[in-house]
Amino acid sequence: MWRLVFAVLLAVACDSEPRSESDGREVTDPDAGTRADSPRDVPDVCSGCLAERPDHSDVAIRVHHVHLNVRDVRETIAFYEKFFGAREVWLNDHESALWADPILILLDEVGGDFPDTLEMGLEHVGLGVADPVKWFDDASREGLEIDTRNGAPTAAVSMPLPEQLSPFVDPGVDTFSYVYVRGPNRERIEVWSGLDRFRHVHFMTREVDETVAWYAQLLNATPLVASASVTFGLGNGLSLAGGVQLFYASMPATGEFVPTDDRPLGHIAFSVSDLDAMLARSEQLSIGVVTSVARTEHGFRSFFVRGPDRVLIEFVEAGSIAMP
């Protein structure tokens, strides 16, 4: 049963080059993006910008942002503000983003529509609330849709916390509850018992232990459990600075994974204090580097690599994000 529970925390899933924000192009227009682009007064955030003074003694690797390809930026911002308490910010004097404590959500308006299938290695994001069942009951009256793709339950689920799940949840949780909902771009979002904040990023993979070992080596992190066999098929994970976790699990029905680049959840980005050292580390580990180091149109230096299951990964030179 618990295998099914965590299979429900998951989903299915690629090798194309990243697009505009992902292509590593240098910014040639210093005035690109103006405050007039944002219709409201929002706080300024500097993260990896020219004014930020790097602290090379900070060796922590953090989740810096997740990148959403969206049909409408304003609609997406309103959605995450309304249902998840995210906060609009103006990033590096360039454009609107969302602050979802303790990370950023960057938005790239691409228009059009997205496939309804979940066949990506980067499958969903998770946010914690004290009582997901009550939260969804209230949110559904406001029009939020449940996400039943890949056999997910048709209602919020609540149960005693299985021992196998204990390494993956916040201390003090004794009744585990969760629900999957759809975002405005067909992205999957999980809401589950825990801290009232951004909680995790969930990956699908065919070989959990092998994939976890790949990320653990790259990110200098320790797996939450020794092997997925310890959790009886529930998967494994990593915990990074700032309290954000990365989860990995397999789904028997998984077909061929597609590249994440053009899907709603386009890529995940990690921040490091020394980007050139991270690039050298990636090359030493024979990681597939997709773009060279460049200052992107978002105002920070970064480069991209291709992870297992065709997941696009960005490394950003930035410190811990300081909110005004």
> Hey, what are 3's tokens?
């295998």
Distance (Å) of CA 261 to CA 99, 203, 245, 296, 305 = 22, 14, 21, 16, 12
Q: Cα(148)–Cα(271) distance, rounded to whole angstroms?
A: 33
CA 84 to chain centre: 15
What pTM, to 2 d.p., does this model score?
0.87
The pLDDT tens digits for 56-72 are 899 999 999 999 999 99
Number of domains in the chain: 1
Can you tell me the mean pLDDT for 304-322? 96
Q: Which residue from 237, 256, 260 is spatially nearest to 187, judged by alpha carbons? A: 260
The pLDDT tens digits for 281-304 are 999 999 999 999 999 999 999 999
- ∠ Cα 201 276 123 (to 5°): 15
Q: Taking 80 as the threshold, does the pLDDT of residue 318 lie above it?
A: yes
Q: Which residue from 69, 184, 78, 169 is spatially nearest to 122, judged by alpha carbons? A: 69
**Full domain range(s) for residue 98:** 1-324
Provide the CATH number for the domain around residue 123. Answer: 3.10.180.10
The pLDDT tens digits for 86-139 are 999 999 998 999 999 999 999 999 988 899 999 999 999 999 888 899 999 999
